[in-house]
Amino acid sequence: MSDTSCASVATFDTCPDVSIPMESPLSVAVNQVSMSTPAPAVSQESQVQFEEKPFLGHLILRGSAMVLGEAVSEVLGVSLPSQPLGLVFDASGQRSVQWLSPDEWLVIVPSGEEFELENRLREVLGAAHFAIVNVSGGQTLIELSGDKARELLMKSVTYDVHPSNFPVGKAVSVAFAKASAILRRPSETRYELVLRRSFADYCYRWLVDAGEDYGLGVTR
Amino acid sequence: MFYIHCPYCGEYRGEEEFSPKGEAHITRPADPDGCSDEEWGSYLFFRQNPRGVHHELWVHTLGCRKFFNITRHTVSYEIFETYRMGEQPKVTEQSLAEALNKTRKEESV
């Protein structure tokens, strides 16, 4: 492919050595049991479960749907969601592509795959007009599950999360507890939140507080 | 709370997700150096402040982060339409007045 355009972009692996310890945005809040307010444990009464999925690979793709669509389906095997607010997963359910705006998509892949994916996309896209940014360090994914997960969200977002308005395969960026977050519905029983690093601790504390009524438990 | 239709997301969202950015359809002079001070000053600083229909620029800050336009009534706060960048408004002061005249005529007949 066009080596000139690839060569002009400096890419680097943000985490080349797995032996270097990493800290997720929520590692302190969730894991330090010695804190004054330790994370509530999952129990029989827990109607909502909270789990962080740290260190996933997050990539932001910018460009036109026509340019990116072909490359994404070739490299990832997933078609780019062209409809607004779309969210698609690959067959394994491990990799997702989400519509963020008419020319912006969020790709989330398992930890460690993002650098190779970025390079392969750059190779396939060649000299086309596009941008790929690795934002893995800037945000984290959390998962809410359980019978009362929807009710917990109803306390936190102004967006209508009723299944008639928010079906499986929809993802929206919304005002979450006076911060901003991306809210995703990957399956009937689960909700995902993509939180910005600097907001993660605040949103976590908000959820723990709001989830007290439902016996929210944090999976470590 | 207002519910505003984002033409890019294609659905109504709460007002708190949006930010107003002032008057819409302000065109930068093609040749700034050729402008008189008055022309350049009115482009930079002077805005309409109508009592009635107003076309405004808004941005969906917490959603898709795209700019779009809203036609809004500054007295009743009614939002007549939202439309994408580069498009022209369907509802204007004139079109509303015409519609009103039409209904008045029909009522009198």
List of domains in chain B: 3-108 (3.30.2270.10)
More confident site: A27 or B5: B5
Q: Does residue A2 surpass a pLDDT of 70?
A: no
d(CA A216, CA A50): 7
Residue A35 scores a pLDDT above 70: no
- Say if the Cβ atoms of B64 and A102 lie within 8 Å: yes
pLDDT for the residue A6:
55
What is the tens place of the pLDDT at every residue in B70-95?
999 999 999 999 999 999 999 999 99
pLDDT by residue (tens digit) across A69-79?
Answer: 999 999 999 99
| Residue A5 burial class via C-beta count within 10 angstroms: exposed 0-12, middle 13-18, buried 19 and up | middle
> Is the minimum CB–CB distance between B16 and chain A shorter than 8 Å?
yes
Angle at A69 between CA A64 and CA A74, to 5 degrees: 145
Question: What is the reported pLDDT for A29?
Answer: 83
Asked if ipTM goes beyond 0.85, one says yes
Average pLDDT along chain A: 91
- Per DSSP, helices labelled H in chain A are 3-7, 27-31, 65-75, 114-125, 149-154, 197-210
Fold classified for A26-219: Gyrase A; domain 2 (3.30.1360)
Confidence band of A208 (pLDDT split at 50, 70, 90): very high
Cβ neighbours of A174 in B, within 8 Å: 13, 17, 62-63
Digit-coded pLDDT (tens) for A155-196: 999 999 999 999 999 999 999 999 999 999 999 999 999 999
Q: A64: pLDDT confidence band, cut at 50, 70 and 90?
A: very high
Residue B10 is nearest to which of A84, A104, A158, comparing CB atoms?
A84
Q: What is the pLDDT of residue B109?
A: 76
Three-state SS for A132? strand
For residue B65, list chain A residues with Cβ-Cβ distance below 8 A.
101
User: Do residues A106 and A194 make contact, with C-beta atoms less than 8 angstroms apart?
Assistant: yes
| Residue among A102, A104, A173 whose CB faces B62 most closely | A173
pLDDT in the model for residue A36: 67
Nearest to A101 among B13, B14, B64 (CB): B64
**Tokens 């827990």 correspond to what residue?**
A46
Residue B62 contacts A, CB cutoff 8 Å: yes
Instruction: List the single best residue of B4, B5, B11 to mutate versus A (max A Cβ within 10 A).
Output: B11
Chain-chain contact of A101 with B1 (C-beta, under 8 angstroms): no
Task: Tell whether B67 lies on the interface with A, counting CB pairs under 8 A.
Answer: no
- pLDDT above 70 as % of chain A: 95
Cβ contact (<8 Å) for B9 and A84? yes
In B1-109, alpha helices (H):
37-44, 93-108
Domain ranges of chain A: 26-219
Work out the average pLDDT over A104-130.
94
Of all residues in chain B, the one with the smallest CA distance to A165 is B11
* Shortest CA gap A181–chain B (Å): 8
Which chain A residue lies closest to B18 (C-alpha atoms)?
A175
Strand pairing class (B11-14; A139-145): unpaired
Q: Which of the two residues, A19 and A161, has the higher pLDDT score?
A: A161
For the cut 60, the answer to whether the pLDDT of residue A90 exceeds it is yes
Of B8, B13, B17, nearest to A102 by CB-CB distance is B8
Confidence class of residue B64 from pLDDT cuts 50, 70 and 90? very high
Instruction: Read off the pLDDT band of A33 (50, 70, 90).
Output: low
